[in-house]
Amino acid sequence: MIGDILNLHLDPGPGALVHSINEGLNPQKLNAVLVSHSHPDHYTDAEVMIEAMTRGMTRKHGVLAAARSVLRGNSVVEASISKYHQQMVEQKIEALPKAKFNIADVSVSATEARHTDPDAVGFRFTTEFGDFAYTTDTEYFEDIARYYQGLRLLILCEMRPSGKPWKGHMTTDDAVKIIERTRPQQTILTHLGMSMIFQGPAREAKLIEEKTNVPTVAAVDDMSVEFGEKITLQPRRARTQRGLRDFF
Ligand SMILES: [Zn+2]
Ligand SMILES: [Zn+2]
């Protein structure tokens, strides 16, 4: 979420609605839903979030920016958001790699990803405080670093620890290569797979930090990030005690 102007949900996977409410966020205040590709850990609550954003499908509202596969399907996956939900947003954007669009006062560009959904894209956000980006699921490829130059914050999907590659995903070794070539001010590792969890994500983050000298942390549940003059990370968001009636 960015200030009061742009409230976006990026890759609403399983339980996103319930987790949002538990965090004290109000999905009815969303004005954008972004979906990077058509795999269930990234899209299952997209329709639910569109329902919240459009007040139960009673008014056209907000932006849906999603990979081509999410909107239309392709040779390996079905479309993951129904036509019924797609037509309830004010603006629908097919996020092809290198596409640029604006949501509120933030400009967004889709970055290339190489994954088992061939239409997968990451997103780069340009704000008054500089740029941050989210890679989505991708494997390392020669040109990847050019999408992430000049960032303040890189949110990197790292499925696997060092030495355990898996096609379509990144390891700690790949993260080191990208970070060395892009040198963001801060990196956050997310999308941590089971072998990463068993290995210890904090340990892998420390390994990256030692090799690159770029501050790197592994995301934890409930983590909050303030992206302003400074980048402030809080491992656990102070939960606000809110009841449902606060939303109406
Ligand atoms: Zn995926
Ligand atoms: Zn995934």
**What pLDDT, on the 0 to 100 scale, is given for residue 61?**
97
Phi, psi values for residue 103, rounded to 5°: -125, 120
Q: Give me ligand 2 centre to Cα 243, in Å.
A: 31
Give 83-106 pLDDT, tens digit per residue.
999 999 999 999 999 999 999 889
Residue 247 alpha carbon to ligand 1 centre in Å: 32
Give the model's pLDDT for residue 5. Answer: 80
* Ligand 1 centroid distance, CA of 115 (Å): 7
**Ligand 2 geometric centre to CA of 151 (Å):** 22
* pLDDT band at residue 37 using 50, 70 and 90 as cut-offs: very high
pLDDT above 70: residue 240: no
What span, in angstroms and rounded, lies between the C-alpha atoms of 26 and 133?
23
pLDDT band at 248 (very low <50, low <70, confident <90, very high): very low
* Whether residue 154 has pLDDT greater than 80: yes
Distances, alpha carbon 162 to alpha carbons 13, 83, 170, 207, in Å? 26, 41, 9, 9
Mean pLDDT of 78-82: 97
To the nearest 10°, the Cα dihedral for 81, 220, 124, 43?
-10
Task: Using a pLDDT cut of 70, give the percent of the chain over it.
Answer: 94
Any idea which ligand is nearest the CA of 13?
2
* pTM reported for the whole predicted model: 0.93
Is a pLDDT exceeding 80 seen at residue 244?
Answer: no
Comparing 65 with 5, the larger pLDDT belongs to: 65
- Neighbour-count burial of 155, counting CB atoms closer than 10 A to its CB (0-12 exposed, 13-18 middle, 19+ buried): buried
pLDDT recorded at residue 3? 47
If you measure from the C-alpha of residue 136 to the centroid of ligand 1, how many angstroms do you get, rounded to a whole number? 8
Please tell me the distance from the alpha carbon of residue 202 to that of residue 144, in angstroms, as a whole number: 24
